[in-house]
């Protein structure tokens, strides 16, 4: 979530490389986040190749901020 919160969007391959995870692992995590409306995606074609871009939704950004505040409170 943090990568999507600080970027407008990231495509699947950029996320996979950044997080150093497998396709299946990333896909399952993204599916879970989509289920709760924390991330959304847009599919396009770039030079006839499919490209899926993911971005954090407003609900996802709100949940992420809440999570960070909770961690900060634990650290105090």
CATH number, domain at 21?
1.10.10.10
pLDDT number for residue 59 = 97
Helix, strand, coil percentages in the chain from 3-state DSSP, rounded to 5: 60, 25, 20
pLDDT number for residue 70 = 97
**Sign of the C-alpha dihedral, residues 14, 15, 18, 20?**
negative
The structure tokens listed for 36 are 């709760």
pLDDT number for residue 32 = 96
Residue 18 near residue 10, CB atoms below 8 Å? yes
Q: How far apart are CA 33 and CA 26, in angstroms?
A: 11
Q: What total number of domains does the chain contain?
A: 1
Domain containing 58 equals 2-75
pLDDT 10s digit of each residue in the chain, 76 long?
A: 999 999 999 999 999 999 999 999 999 999 999 999 999 999 999 899 999 999 999 999 999 999 999 999 999 9
């Amino acid at each position: 979530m943090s990568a999507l919160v600080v970027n407008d969007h990231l495509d699947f391959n950029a996320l996979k490389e950044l997080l150093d995870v497998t396709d299946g692992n990333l896909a399952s995590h993204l599916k879970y986040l989509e289920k709760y409306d924390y991330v959304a995606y847009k599919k396009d074609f770039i030079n006839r190749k499919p490209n899926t871009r993911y971005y954090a939704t407003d609900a996802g950004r709100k949940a992420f901020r809440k999570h960070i505040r909770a961690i900060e409170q634990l650290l105090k």
